[in-house]
A and B are shown apart, each in its own frame.
Chain A
């Protein structure tokens, strides 16, 4: 049997460090928001024959003095694509941009795969909507946990289970956000609506693992009345660890396939899900139940 609860300080230090680093990175650098939230335009261009290098294209745009493209961010993507991000372009400005590229690199060579243009108003709206959605999901899940554990009272009050599970969730979300702050800072990876979608999905998904562990604790508290609370919790975590890891593993297998084979557009959405499932499983086994025990012992000592 793994001595998970006994060694909980290791996990507290590990998690604490990751959370603090994430928060610090978030404060210093912040997330790189995509045009979903800031407004702006994105054009994904395929070069059938050969792709010009980024500096060359940037120079071309500067020399053409097109509207709104002076601060264009140009990134290579895939094997022969460039992604050009600019301020919000009108349809006319967009056509000018495409035509400049076609004139310089050949009508047949340049194909625009994708164009997105989002006005600042919509960006602001989506931002607000995303925040509201996160709050609603968190509230729903806390209510749900509280409801699920309403009948547990000894030796811990039911709301304490709820709070421990919620802390584990906040822990997961903070670390994933931290990871994307770093990705944004070092690799220019932006977070948009899909990132928020991933976060929300994870909130719903990874709370399950925690609930299963807690469920077992509840059950074992009845069947094993002689053990200490810490022993019962450790026993429960050990009993459920195989299924926690296995369920996450199956989800991870399909997500890894999607990450490597599923195309550029959803790559970082899938990455957020992958990170979320890894940390979600970790926190439900090593953090949530450990928190319960520490809390229990803390309040006993106080008495």
Chain B
């Protein structure tokens, strides 16, 4: 006694076939893991191949390789009302920095844990140099105020006139150097010559004395003269040219160094008189030299050319900004951004605006100008307003950025998970192989144990697999390694519903019911068990999803979806297949159903 119409059954079967076909085609395409790697595309001849190739799997970081970073934002210094926006600001800054890596789809999220613990989560897929990424993210946001550089003219190259001027100057310098060198060689006091002529600020007043120095302290040309060419007491026969200018050098003395360290770090003064620290000196030669020199400077193009940068730093920076917020212009109602400086900042701002009336002052964030307002008048009181043609969103963003720059919330890296691309590829392969064998084992078991219904359930299971994969693509679900495990596990669970139904079905057959009747009764009576047992698993999945980090969420998600679809698969797909079989024929072939039937 079938309690369903044949027509409805045909409709359901058509629906199942369309769904299976659609899923199979949607599942087909897989993008390569790495650029240039092997991916999967639907065959060329397939109509609508572009459509099918649009579906893509979303792989988690542990499968495609990448890094997952958790930062803790220290907001203790900040009033509790402003914490949220400060952290949003930090996220913004990180987002911009991360975008600079060119990583596809970077994720930067904020997360509040506990009452005042703010976290910033950064996910970078396929990033090559994690170390560098971490270094760049960790920089504190830098806010600078700059004024126009008066010397800036935009000129980048020397005019012929200037070039001639430069050449002349250097020619003169050489002449002077040669002159002095001659006088030194002629026996004039080197010390007084140095005091009179040397243009090295550092050594001039010491009579050109450079002190004891080992090889590596000076530029190579200088070292060459001092350690190779000159002997003790000798003066250079002609001036030595270096980047600084022309040197007349006198080697006064040399001595052995006793040291067990092959290298030492010394504090030294370089030849232009600037202090240089941490110069690595090669002590292998074990020779130190005492020397004096006289420097006649030369000029380069950079000494003559105007500065390359239009903007010049002022003393005012992000650390002087107390607060910034969005305001509205009283007359027009346009959004504007107001800045409030601390006392020191107020003073500086007054000076800066005072000397720049009618000129622009630029606000730089992380080295790029975010706003270049014109100064209308000298501003006292430490408050400023940036009016501009920005909309509310832009104003808010700017405030966030400014507050982040002004209140640099220190962030610290508290968790890092990095997976290399090769491990990801291997994990995918391993999971696919495990899934395939698992599915095969289940199929063999079901067919051996449940015969024909078992075979039908395997068909249903195959369709189930296609549909679930399609849903992973469409939702989309981010697949992780644990997620793949969850999906494979769900295959084992999906078949459970079929087992429940078949056991019930066999019981009904043994009790002497006719085939069609046993099918209906089996499904009807197994349904409550299926529903109840899956319900508790779904509950757990929900808690896992709430509790989990991304890895566990992946597992909970795939398992949960698997369970829901498995109920549909058992009730709709398997039942339709079972109904399709001709009842009369079935009753004569009990062995196909794995049951010795009673004669009814």
Contact = CB atoms under 8 A, between A and B. Distances in A.
Given A114-B419, A262-B430, A250 B446 contact: yes
Given A197-B552, A201-B540, A122 B492 contact: no
Contacts of B547: 129-130, 132-133, 200
Interface residues of B, number: 70
**From DSSP, what is the main secondary structure of chain A's interface residues?**
helix
A220 B512 CA distance: 19
B496 A251 contact: yes
Interface in B398-421: 413-420
Contact of B493 (A130, A205, A256, A257): A205
A215 B528 contact: yes
B544 A200 contact: yes
Contacts of A247: 495-496, 499-500
B435 interface: yes
A205 B437 CA distance: 22
**From DSSP, what is the main secondary structure of chain B's interface residues?**
helix
Interface stretch (A21-29, A135-143, A155-163, A182-190): A135-143
Contacts of B556: 197
A111 B441 contact: no
Contacts of B430: 261-263
15 contacts: A46-B423, A91-B130, A118-B414, A133-B543, A133-B546, A203-B540, A208-B534, A212-B500, A242-B503, A246-B499, A249-B445, A253-B438, A253-B492, A254-B488, A262-B434
Given A197-B544, A197-B555, A208-B533, A90 B445 contact: no
B549 interface: yes
A119 B551 contact: no
Contact of B422 (A111, A129, A201): A111
B539 A261 contact: no
B442 interface: yes
A112 interface: yes
Given A121-B72, A208-B537, A254 B559 contact: no
B550 to A, nearest CB: 11
Nearest to B423: A113
A270 B485 contact: yes
A257 B541 contact: no
B70 interface: yes
Contacts of A116: 415-418
Interface in B426-444: 426-427, 430-431, 433-435, 437-439, 441-442
Nearest to B529: A212
A246 B551 contact: no
A269 interface: yes
Contacts of A204: 536-541
Contacts of B495: 247, 250
B113 interface: yes
Given A252-B492, A261-B430, A113 B419 contact: yes
Interface of A: 44, 46, 90-91, 94-95, 111-119, 121-122, 125-126, 129-130, 132-133, 136-137, 140-141, 144, 148, 193-194, 197, 200-201, 203-205, 207-209, 211-212, 215, 239, 242-243, 246-247, 249-258, 260-263, 265-266, 269-270, 273
6 nearest A-B pairs in the assembled complex, by CB-CB distance: A204-B540, A208-B533, A254-B438, A119-B414, A257-B438, A251-B492
A112 B420 contact: yes
A111 B420 CA distance: 9
A194 B551 contact: yes
Contacts of B418: 112, 114-116
A62 B70 CA distance: 29
Interface of B: 62, 70, 72, 113, 130-131, 134-135, 413-420, 422-423, 426-427, 430-431, 433-435, 437-439, 441-442, 445-446, 449, 481-482, 485, 488-489, 491-493, 495-496, 499-500, 503, 507, 528-529, 532-541, 543-544, 546-549, 551-552, 555-556, 559
B211 to A, nearest CB: 35
A243 B499 contact: yes
B422 A121 contact: no
Nearest to B138: A91
A132 B434 CA distance: 33
B415 A117 contact: yes
Given A114-B418, A246-B503, 8 more contacts: A116-B416, A144-B536, A197-B552, A204-B541, A211-B536, A251-B492, A257-B434, A263-B430
A274 to B, nearest CB: 10
Contacts of A207: 536
A90 B413 contact: yes
Contacts of B422: 46, 111, 113
A261 B488 CA distance: 12
B196 to A, nearest CB: 51
A113 B420 contact: yes
Contacts of B437: 257, 261
A119 B548 CA distance: 17
Nearest to A258: B434
Contacts of B62: 265
A205 B442 CA distance: 18
A197 B422 CA distance: 26
A205 to B, nearest CB: 5
B529 to A, nearest CB: 5
A278 to B, nearest CB: 13
A129 B559 CA distance: 21
Nearest to A130: B547
Nearest to B552: A197
A212 B423 contact: no
B535 A253 contact: no
B413 A91 contact: yes
Contacts of A46: 422-423
Nearest to A123: B415
B90 to A, nearest CB: 18
Given A91-B413, A250-B442, A254-B489, A208 B539 contact: no
A141 B492 contact: no
A117 B417 CA distance: 6
Contacts of B131: 91, 95
Contact of B423 (A44, A118, A249): A44
B539 A254 contact: no
A273 B130 CA distance: 34
A259 B118 CA distance: 38
Contacts of B439: 254
B556 to A, nearest CB: 8
Interface centre among B426, B532, B534, B540 (most CB of A within 10 A): B540
Nearest to A259: B434
A254 B481 contact: no
B539 A137 contact: yes
Contact of B441 (A129, A141, A257): A257
